Amino acid sequence: MKEFFLGRLTSQSLPHEWFTIGGSAFFGLAALFFIVLLTVTKRWKWLWKEWLTSVDPKRIGIMYFIVAGFMLIARGGLEALMMWLQQAIGSSNMPGFLGASHGYLSSQHFQEIFTAHGNIMVFFVAMGFIFGLINYIVPLQIGARDLASPFLNTLGFWLYVAGVVMVNMFFFFGGEYAATGWLAVAPLNGIQFSPGVGMDYLIWSLQISGIGTTLGAINFIMTILKMRSPGMGLWKMPAFTWGSLCSMIMAVTIFPLLTATLFLVFFDRYFGTHFFTTTLGGNAMMYTNLIWMWGHPEVYVLVLPAYGVFTEIVATFSRKPIASYTTSIIGMIGVSLFALSVWLHHFFTMGAGADVNAFFGLMTMIIAVPTTVLVFTWIATMHKGRIRYTSPMHWFLGFMIIFALGGITGVMLGVPPADFQFHNSLFLVAHFHSNVIGGVLFGVFAGITYWFPKMAGFRLNERFGKYAFWCWMVGFSLSFIPMYILGLMGATRRLDTYDAATGWQPFYICMLIGGCVIALGVAFQIIQIIASVMEKKRLHDYTGDPWDGRTLEWSVSSPAPAYNFTTIPHVTTRDAFWEMKKQGIAKPQYEDIHMPKNTASGIYISIFAFFAGFGFVWHITWMAIAGVAGAIVCAIIRTFDENTEYTIPAAEVEKMEKARLQKEHEEYGDKPANTGPEYDMTLREFIITVVTWAWSVVRRKQRQA
Amino acid sequence: MAETTEAVATHEQAGALTPEHEMSHEEAANDRVMFGFWVYLMTDLLMFSVLFAVYAVLHANTVGGPGGGQLFSLKQALIETLILLTSSFTCGLGMIAARKGDKTQVLAWFGVTFLLGLAFLGLEVKEFAEFVHEGHTLSSNAFLSSFFSLVGTHGLHITSGLLWMGVILAFVIKRGLNKHMVRKLALLSLFWHFLDIVWIFIFTIVYLMAFTA
- Around Cβ A252, how many Cβ atoms within 10 Å? 22
For A150, what's the count of Cα atoms within 13 Å in the CB-facing half-sphere? 23
Partners of residue B38 in chain A, C-beta under 8 Å = none
pLDDT tens figures, A111-145: 999 999 999 999 999 999 999 999 999 999 999 99
Distance CA B38, CA B59 (A): 30
- Give CA angle at B175 (B170, B181), nearest 5°: 75
Taking a C-beta distance cutoff of 8 angstroms, is the pair B25, A594 a contact?
Answer: yes
B170 touches chain A (CB under 8 A): no
Q: At what angle do helices A601-617 and A198-226 cross, to 10 degrees?
A: 150
Q: Mean pLDDT over residues B125-146, rounded?
A: 95
C-alpha distances out from residue A506 to A195, A424, A490, Å: 37, 21, 15
Note if the bond before A559 is cis, omega within 30 degrees: yes
Partners of residue A214 in chain B, C-beta under 8 Å = 43
Could you tell me the residue ranges of all domains in chain B?
Answer: 37-212
Based on the number of CB atoms within 10 Å of its own CB, is A45 exposed (0-12), middle (13-18) or buried (19 or more)? exposed
Distance CA A31, CA B61 (A): 51
Return the pLDDT at A522.
96
C-alpha distances out from residue B62 to A151, A267, B72, Å: 45, 18, 14
B171 touches chain A (CB under 8 A): yes
Taking a C-beta distance cutoff of 8 angstroms, is the pair A568, A228 a contact?
Answer: no
Distance CA A142, CA A144 (A): 6
DSSP A696: H
Residues A373/A379/A385/A386 CA torsion (nearest 10 deg): 140
Residues 6+ apart with CB under 8 A from A78: none
Partners of residue A639 in chain B, C-beta under 8 Å = 184
B180 touches chain A (CB under 8 A): yes
pLDDT tens figures, A311-366: 999 999 999 999 989 999 999 999 999 999 999 999 999 888 899 999 999 999 99
Return the pLDDT at B21.
63
The residues with which B58 forms a beta bridge, in sequence order, are none
Taking a C-beta distance cutoff of 8 angstroms, is the pair A246, A333 a contact?
Answer: yes
C-alpha distances out from residue B205 to A302, B19, B76, B192, B212, Å: 36, 41, 15, 20, 10
Query: C-alpha A435: how far from its chain's center?
Result: 14
DSSP A345: G
3-state secondary structure of A492: strand
Q: Do A286 and B57 touch (CB under 8 A)?
A: yes
Return the pLDDT at A206.
97
Partners of residue B61 in chain A, C-beta under 8 Å = 274, 280-283
Which of B26, B54, B63 has the most A C-beta neighbours within 10 Å, making it the best mutation to test the interface with A?
A: B54
Distance CA A555, CA A577 (A): 6
Percent residues over pLDDT 70 in chain B? 89
C-alpha distances out from residue A15 to A5, A20, A76, Å: 20, 5, 21
B179 touches chain A (CB under 8 A): no
Assess if CATH 1.20.210.10 describes domain A43-599+642-694. Answer: yes
Taking a C-beta distance cutoff of 8 angstroms, is the pair B72, B144 a contact?
Answer: no
Return the pLDDT at B2.
40
Name the residue among A528, A521, A527, A424 with its Cα closest to residue A479: A521
Residues 6+ apart with CB under 8 A from A309: A133, A240, A243, A443, A444, A446, A447, A450
Taking a C-beta distance cutoff of 8 angstroms, is the pair A346, A296 a contact?
Answer: yes
- Phi, psi dihedral angles at A425 (to 5 degrees): -95, 170
Report which secondary-structure segment, H or E, holds A596: strand A593-596
Return the pLDDT at A423.
92
Name the residue among B163, B169, B161, B166 with its Cα closest to residue B199: B161
Return the pLDDT at A680.
85
Distance CA A466, CA B74 (A): 71
Query: C-alpha A287: how far from its chain's center?
Result: 26
3-state secondary structure of A142: coil
Distance CA A89, CA A91 (A): 6
- Examine the pLDDT at B13 and tell me if it is beyond 60: no
Handedness of CA A47, A53, A56, A61 (dihedral sign): positive
Which residue type, as a one-letter code, is found at position A63? M
Q: Do A274 and B142 touch (CB under 8 A)?
A: yes
The residues with which A91 forms a beta bridge, in sequence order, are A498
- Write down the pTM of the prediction: 0.94
Name the residue among A150, A159, A153, A201 with its Cα closest to residue A180: A201
Which residue type, as a one-letter code, is found at position B117? G
Partners of residue B149 in chain A, C-beta under 8 Å = 264, 267, 273, 275
Which of A226, A283, A567, A647 has the most B C-beta neighbours within 10 Å, making it the best mutation to test the interface with B?
A: A226
Distance CA A387, CA A465 (A): 18
CA distance A637 to chain B (A): 10
Q: Do A226 and B20 touch (CB under 8 A)?
A: yes
Distance CA A539, CA A136 (A): 21
Based on the number of CB atoms within 10 Å of its own CB, is A236 exposed (0-12), middle (13-18) or buried (19 or more)? middle
- Give CA angle at A634 (A631, A635), nearest 5°: 85
Report the CATH fold assignment for B37-212: Four Helix Bundle (Hemerythrin (Met), subunit A) (1.20.120)
3-state secondary structure of A309: helix
Distance CA A173, CA A14 (A): 5
Partners of residue A267 in chain B, C-beta under 8 Å = 138, 145, 149
Residue in chain B closest to A269 (alpha carbons) equals: B139
Residue in chain B closest to A249 (alpha carbons) equals: B39
At B20, the pLDDT band (50, 70, 90 cuts) reads: low
Low-confidence spans in chain A with pLDDT less than 50? none
Return the pLDDT at B4.
40
Pick B58's closest partner by Cβ from A214, A229, A283. A283
Taking a C-beta distance cutoff of 8 angstroms, is the pair A241, A217 a contact?
Answer: no
Which residue type, as a one-letter code, is found at position B4? T
CA distance A388 to chain B (A): 38
B176 touches chain A (CB under 8 A): no
Distance CA A58, CA A564 (A): 9
Residue in chain B closest to A222 (alpha carbons) equals: B36
Taking a C-beta distance cutoff of 8 angstroms, is the pair A545, A555 a contact?
Answer: yes
DSSP A563: T
Taking a C-beta distance cutoff of 8 angstroms, is the pair A479, A434 a contact?
Answer: no
Taking a C-beta distance cutoff of 8 angstroms, is the pair A209, A164 a contact?
Answer: yes
> What are the DSSP calls for A197-216, one per residue?
SHHHHHHHHHHHHHHHHHHH
Pick B142's closest partner by Cβ from A281, A290, A632. A281
Pick B32's closest partner by Cβ from A222, A255, A290. A222
B196 touches chain A (CB under 8 A): no
Residues 6+ apart with CB under 8 A from A686: A464, A527, A530, A531, A534
Q: Mean pLDDT over residues B92-97, rounded?
A: 96
B146 touches chain A (CB under 8 A): yes
Partners of residue A282 in chain B, C-beta under 8 Å = 58, 61, 142, 145
pLDDT tens figures, B30-55: 899 999 999 999 999 999 999 999 99
B141 touches chain A (CB under 8 A): yes
Q: Do B54 and A264 touch (CB under 8 A)?
A: yes
- Around Cβ A705, how many Cβ atoms within 10 Å? 5
Pick B46's closest partner by Cβ from A226, A228, A256. A256
Return the pLDDT at A12.
83
Residue in chain B closest to A258 (alpha carbons) equals: B47
Which of A273, A285, A568 has the most B C-beta neighbours within 10 Å, making it the best mutation to test the interface with B?
A: A273
Q: Do A149 and B33 touch (CB under 8 A)?
A: yes
Q: At what angle do helices A683-704 and A462-489 cross, to 10 degrees?
A: 110
ipTM, 2 decimals?
Answer: 0.93
Name the residue among A443, A586, A359, A412 with its Cα closest to residue A125: A443
Q: How many CB pairs under 8 A join A and B?
A: 110
